[in-house]
Amino acid sequence: MPTMEVNGTRLHYEDAGTGPALLLVHGWGTSGRVWQSCLPDLVRDHRVITLDWRGCGRSDHPADGTTIDGITADLAAVIDRLGVKPTVVGSSIGGVFATELALARPELVERVVAVDGPGYWPGTGMLATVHTLLDQLVDDRPGTLAGWVPGWFGPQAAPELIDWTVRQLLDSGVYIDALFTEATTYDPRPRLGSLTVPIDYLHGELDAQIPLEVPRSCAAETPGARVHVIDGCGHVPHQENPRAFTAAFRTITA
């Protein structure tokens, strides 16, 4: 199992294929495995690196460092260690990490593709929902996840995919919950005008977690940014419809 020690934490990653580099960054509480159905297509002509960020999957679950800045620093260290300048594809809060990396260390990033992210909650009416979710995760983590995760997906998602996602979340560390508290004040829009790395927003049409108004307002603040919508999908289009996702990705990066 390939791992590397980064900022005092052992991170699991996988690295396959040759060509322009991609770094695929999963969302909250899942793992690099969420990209598995996209990999056969992407590795045909890319070097594809999937990473379990700290607190998730097969990486360590430390009590410290599970913050936006901490995980962004981990990504920078991984890129430095592997000697690549990738397109960073970030799902959900992974889109936050990708965006922050491009703002802080643009020399490391070829471009960003934010998948149903980066997301911001101030001004969207979602703050009360987040605070309630944090309380429910403490009181009944399995039940809360079982009730919440189906809403991540569009109507065509298989029940087995939803169940597998819940199992991944239960396997991740509880310290990742602090990211929700941090995200309640996160809003990248005032800084997006200074972004020098190309960014595109790829979003599921039916996303009930981060509505389409969010990437559209981010794109309006970002020079040259575009929003691409995947029909019939919710919050995780790369899992719900991998063929449509990789086709849209190739259109973006062509």
Q: Identify the domain containing residue 88 by its residue range.
A: 3-253
**DSSP notation for 120-160:** --TTTT-HHHHHHHHHHHHH-HHHHHHHHGGGGS-TT--HH
Question: What was the pLDDT predicted at 254?
Answer: 78
Extract the tokens encoding 134: 């944090």
pLDDT tens digits, 9-59: 999 999 999 999 999 999 999 999 999 999 999 999 999 999 999 999 999
pTM above 0.85, yes or no: yes
CA distance 31 to 183: 19
pLDDT tens-digit readout, 165-189 = 999 999 999 999 999 888 888 999 9
Crossing angle for the helix pair 141-148 and 159-171, nearest 10 degrees?
A: 150
Q: How far apart are CA 28 and CA 235, in angstroms?
A: 12
CATH number, residue 185: 3.40.50.1820
**Could you report the per-residue pLDDT of 119-168, keeping only the tens digit for each?**
886 665 666 778 889 999 999 999 999 999 999 999 999 999 999 999 99
User: Confidence band (pLDDT; 50, 70, 90) for 253?
Assistant: confident
Q: How many domains does the chain have?
A: 1
